[in-house]
Amino acid sequence: MENTKTDLNVLIKRRYEELEELKNKGFEPYAYSFDTNSYSEDIKNNFSEYENNTVRISGRIMAIRRMGKASFAHIMDFTGRIQIYLKKDEIGEEYAAFKLMDIGDIIGVEGFVFKTRTGEITVHANKLSLLAKSIRPLPIPKEVEDDKGEKTIYDQFADKELRYRQRYVDLIVNPDVKKVFILRSRIVTTIRNFLDERGLLEVETPILQPLYGGAAAKPFITHHNTLDVDLYLRIADELYLKRLIVGGFDGVYEISKDFRNEGMDRSHNPEFTMLELYAAYKDYNWMMNFVEEIFENICTKVFGKTEFTFEGKTIDFKRPWKRINYVDSIKDKTGVDVINSSEEELKKLLKNIRLDTSAISGKAKLIDEIFSQTVEPDLVQPTFVVDYPLILSPLAKKHRSKEEIVERFEGYVAGKELCNAFSELNDPIDQRQRFEEQVKQKSAGDEEAHPVDEDFIRAMEYGMPPMAGLGIGIDRLIMLFTSQSSIRDVIFFPQMKPEQIA
């Protein structure tokens, strides 16, 4: 570690020297602004309009080919890369300065657009400005494009740890990474626009909460000094959004971070983005159609198609999605009716499916695990799993015609849960009983069971309209649409163990 640092310092030291030389030549290495008027992709895509016209472009130097008294370089702006051409005869002093510039430096170029002998669209520089000197070398890959336009990348910056820790470097040298995050932004904007058009109101509710609830999860705990109370980082938005429905909003949604103090793997990050939405006077049947519409809207507005490939499987979001019954689907796979089975019977069944069942106790957890093991993996095409056992769903309304069942559905795609929704419980007496059941489970050792939220019950006691509620894990949705199999590849700065920087 010590030696690599020394070695890197040699490269950095050299760049400090160049920086001083540039200053001595009268080039301020850190500029205040540059009046950019063109993007590289526009110039390349509309060459006939740009040819021989003067443009002002800016960006980072990504490659340099010096040939004595003339040089080529590629600079990268937000849209892509373009070649620039510099001649000593024409820019004199600035050419001498260019010799002190490196890959990674950010420059501004004014020049006219032309095509080189070999056919590359290039900006022939008349003026060169240094905008920011880079003093740390980039792990720059080499990119070769063959006749067919196929790109081969040599020495790609691939170390996952470094890519996540120094995402800024990852974004500079791996252009596909930038594409994923641009898509992420577009998808979220599209969802927002769709919900706004449908008359839902975007709202913000507390992240710091005196009680947590709305999901089965372990919270992060923090402390407020002035109030001298412990607070929880929210695990879900649900209980506050429902209070707003009590308050008279007919439709609200929130897109924001939730926090769960649990394991991390390729589909779990401790902080993640959730969409939650609540629509008064609607039920879960309405919501199923609405979810289909949300996805259809993303498909058409952002991608112009409904078919996607994820982990080698083709997935089609065309409406309507397949709908299966939760209890029946398990019965189909195992022959067992989980509702009318005892805890002992369920445990036995689960033992036949997987080896270790010791960590799982309680009927609810057993049923959920049996479902995960038997049904879930086969739900590749978008599928709604409908009507869940009551014991799994402390906030959902009892089914209007089925015993021990609630009106709830989850949307599955590619074997993964994408959304969760129900006809929301609005009976305060029932709600209190459900909370008390949760407390029992908690004292029985279930760390994820809810505490009782008295204020939430009080709100419900004033009268809560019937409503449908929905939660969508945005990160996982982005993974599907951008074909990324790790959540870390759709979050700019995924959680990492703290780095020791000497």
Partner RNA sequence: GGGCGCGUAGCUCAGUGGUAGAGCAUCUGCCUUUUAAGCAGAGGGUCGGUGGUUCGAGACCACCCGCGCUCACCA
Q: Which of residues 419-478 bind RNA (CB under 7 A)?
A: 420, 448, 471, 473
Pattern 362-401, binding to RNA, x per CB under 7 A? ---x--xx----------------------xx--------
Q: Which two tokens stand for residue 323?
A: 């709908």
Residue 213 CA: distances (Å) to CA of 202, 236, 264, 390: 21, 7, 21, 17
484 lines the binding site for RNA (CB under 7 A):
no
35, 309, 359, 445: which one binds RNA (CB under 7 A): 359
68 lines the binding site for RNA (CB under 7 A):
yes
Taking CB under 7 A as the binding criterion, the range among 36-44, 65-73, 278-286, 425-433 that sits at the site for RNA is 65-73
**Min dist. Cβ of residue 392 to RNA (A):** 6
22, 64, 172, 330: which one binds RNA (CB under 7 A): 64
Under DSSP, the state recorded for 488 is: G
Amino acid letter at 280? A
Residues 209-238 that bind RNA (CB under 7 A): 215-217
Measure CA 80 to chain center: 23
Q: What residue spans of 131-228 are helical by DSSP H?
A: 160-165, 167-173, 175-197
Amino acid letter at 343? E
Residues 171-210 that bind RNA (CB under 7 A): none
36, 205, 297, 486: which one binds RNA (CB under 7 A): 486
CB distance 166 to 159 below 8 Å: no
72 lines the binding site for RNA (CB under 7 A):
yes
66 lines the binding site for RNA (CB under 7 A):
yes
141, 175, 451, 465: which one binds RNA (CB under 7 A): 141
Judged by DSSP in three states, 19 sits in: helix
**Min dist. Cβ of residue 227 to RNA (A):** 28
31, 63, 135, 183: which one binds RNA (CB under 7 A): 63
404 lines the binding site for RNA (CB under 7 A):
no
Judged by DSSP in three states, 41 sits in: helix
Measure CA 314 to chain center: 21
91 lines the binding site for RNA (CB under 7 A):
no
157 lines the binding site for RNA (CB under 7 A):
yes
**Min dist. Cβ of residue 253 to RNA (A):** 17
Cβ count within 10 A of residue 501: 5
26, 119, 149, 248: which one binds RNA (CB under 7 A): 119
Taking CB under 7 A as the binding criterion, the range among 33-41, 126-134, 160-168, 459-467 that sits at the site for RNA is 160-168
31 lines the binding site for RNA (CB under 7 A):
no
**Min dist. Cβ of residue 197 to RNA (A):** 26
Classify residue 270 as exposed, middle or buried by CB count within 10 Å of its CB (0-12, 13-18, 19+): middle
67 lines the binding site for RNA (CB under 7 A):
yes
Taking CB under 7 A as the binding criterion, the range among 11-19, 125-133, 247-255, 318-326 that sits at the site for RNA is 11-19
Taking CB under 7 A as the binding criterion, the range among 110-118, 186-194, 313-321, 328-336 that sits at the site for RNA is 110-118
Amino acid letter at 490? V
Q: Which two tokens stand for residue 475?
A: 């990160």
- DSSP one-letter string for 238-287: HHHHHHHHHTT-SEEEEEEEEE--S--BTTB-SEEEEEEEEEET--HHHH
Q: Residue 101 — φ and ψ, nearest 5°?
A: -100, 155
Judged by DSSP in three states, 443 sits in: helix
196, 265, 378, 454: which one binds RNA (CB under 7 A): 265
80 lines the binding site for RNA (CB under 7 A):
no
Q: How far apart are CA 120 and CA 83, in angstroms?
A: 8
Q: Residue 155 or 196: which CB sits closer to RNA? A: 155
CB distance 234 to 206 below 8 Å: yes
Residues 270-329 that bind RNA (CB under 7 A): none
**Min dist. Cβ of residue 226 to RNA (A):** 32
Under DSSP, the state recorded for 130 is: E
As a three-state string, the secondary structure of 290-313 is: HHHHHHHHHHHHHHCCCEEEECCE
Taking CB under 7 A as the binding criterion, the range among 119-127, 222-230, 240-248, 328-336 that sits at the site for RNA is 119-127
Q: How many residues bind RNA (CB under 7 A)?
A: 81
Q: What residue spans of 306-422 are helical by DSSP H?
A: 326-334, 343-353, 363-374
